[in-house]
Amino acid sequence: MNLLDEAWIPVRRENGEQDWITPIQITEPAFVALDACRPDFNGTLIQFLIGLIQTTTPMDSEAEWKQWSEEPPSADELKKWFESVREAFVFDGEGARFMQDFSLRTEGVKEKEFNPISGLLIDAPGENTLKENKDHFVKRDTVNALCCSCAATALFTLQTNAPSGGQGHNTSIRGGGPLTTILIAGDSHSLWQTVWLNIKRRSDFLATNGDASKSALEYSFLWVRAMNALQSEGGKLTPIQVHPAHNFWGMPRRIRLDFKHVSAGNCDCCGRHSDVLVDRYVTKAKGFDYKGGWSHPLSPYYENKPGEMLPLHPQPGGIGYKHWLAWSLGIHGNKKESSACIHSFLCIGRTALERQAMPSIRFWL
């Protein structure tokens, strides 16, 4: 299964019906929004699509941005864009797999060392919670098996938002549970327009943190090689060791799904029938340890101390109106910066703004 070929992304059509599409279908105007079984899945699927397009688009001028905003690239065009990264999106092969550790294997692992697939879900009760019988709100045993679509989404959601998972189970590039801000096209617009609003010119994107000269696949998608090729035992990973695109494809956790132990039935998340339901995975501590100077394009940052910008995280008590302006557009005097994608949109999208309704900015927690 290659995530660039498979129809695994749940979307909503203009007429309200649900459908599943491949990434090259996102420019079809009938698809207006993502439609996953969980809100956190929608929040990371949009980041998957933005990451994929930003990583592969040759767009490098305001004129091209406007042209593709109004006349989206064809499926054939998108196929060409994605060609160079295909290898990184294999989900269940024998070797490198999307968002899974290159060296971990499930063969020969003792039964008790496997983790239930529900452990991929961000709100799943942890080991201690289960031991102490404290799973009052999110019950155990409600998710026992996931279809490949939901398993891929759950894995990407965990790697992208990774909260602290106990000793050696690291947090995401933006720390545990970061705030994400996404520009959303108005109601009469398509899913493509929402994705495209968040895309920067290629040269601007390559000038952000990371080393753009590291163009080989393994510097954007770290799972295509063994992790010790890049980070030594007990070491850290800094932006200069990888390509700027890696901001979208962070992989703090070492995980490998068990595709040798699958069954047929209905998925416990989306409810669809599948011949390949995944129910367990293996994991190992001491994955990539992100330190120093990362700057994710979809998150607002604040100045922690002179010269040190940190990603904003939602506060206990939720988001109030007073937070909205600072977190979405930035406040200079308050040492807060909007996400790089919003900043970029306000620079190159201004004339587009005059013609279409102002897009809204949505927070994903």
Report 256-275 residues binding Zn ion (CB under 5 A). 267, 269-270
Task: Identify whether the C-beta of residue 182 lies closer than 8 Å to the C-beta of residue 362.
Answer: yes
Question: Residue 227 or 270: which CB sits closer to Zn ion?
Answer: 270
What letter would DSSP give residue 225? S
Question: Residue 264 or 353: which CB sits closer to Zn ion?
Answer: 264
Question: Residue 8 or 302: which CB sits closer to Zn ion?
Answer: 8
Q: Report phi then psi at 339, rounded to 5.
A: -65, 155
Question: Residue 46 or 85: which CB sits closer to Zn ion?
Answer: 46
Q: By CB under 5 A, which span of 57-65, 103-111, 140-148, 276-284 interacts with Zn ion?
A: 140-148
**Alpha helix segments (H runs only) across the chain:** 39-56, 62-70, 75-83, 127-131, 148-161, 191-197, 202-206, 321-329, 340-348, 350-355
Q: Is 152 in the site for Zn ion (CB under 5 A)?
A: no
Q: Is 148 in the site for Zn ion (CB under 5 A)?
A: no
Question: Residue 148 or 222: which CB sits closer to Zn ion?
Answer: 148
Question: Residue 21 or 242: which CB sits closer to Zn ion?
Answer: 21
Q: Rounded to the nearest whole angstrom, what is the least distance from the CB of residue 130 to Zn ion in the complex?
A: 23
Q: Is 145 in the site for Zn ion (CB under 5 A)?
A: no
Task: For strands 254-257 and 180-184, give the pairing.
Answer: unpaired
Nearest to 4 by CA among 69, 103, 108, 75: 75
Q: By CB under 5 A, which span of 107-115, 129-137, 148-156, 204-212 interacts with Zn ion?
A: 148-156
Nearest to 189 by CA among 72, 56, 94, 306: 72
Number of residues that bind Zn ion (CB under 5 A): 5
Question: Residue 197 or 255: which CB sits closer to Zn ion?
Answer: 255
Q: Is 52 in the site for Zn ion (CB under 5 A)?
A: no
Instruction: For the sheet with 254-257, list strands across it.
Output: 115-116, 280-284, 254-257
Question: Residue 20 or 363: which CB sits closer to Zn ion?
Answer: 20
**Interacting residues of 227 by C-beta distance below 8 A, sequence separation 6+:** 101, 102, 103, 254, 287, 288
Q: Rounded to the nearest whole angstrom, what is the least distance from the CB of residue 153 to Zn ion in the complex?
A: 8
Instruction: For the sheet with 301-305, list strands across it.
Output: 308-311, 301-305, 336-337, 330-331
Q: Rounded to the nearest whole angstrom, what is the least distance from the CB of residue 118 to Zn ion in the complex?
A: 13
Q: By CB under 5 A, which span of 18-26, 135-143, 145-153, 328-336 interacts with Zn ion?
A: 145-153
Identified binder of Zn ion from the candidate list 50, 121, 145, 147, rule CB under 5 A: 147
Q: Is 150 in the site for Zn ion (CB under 5 A)?
A: yes
Among positive and negative, which fits the CA dihedral 108, 113, 119, 120?
Answer: negative
Number of helices and strands in the chain (H, E): 10, 14
Q: Dihedral, CA atoms, 238, 239, 240, 241, nearest 10 degrees?
A: 60
Instruction: Note the residues at the interface with Zn ion (CB under 5 A).
Output: 147, 150, 267, 269-270
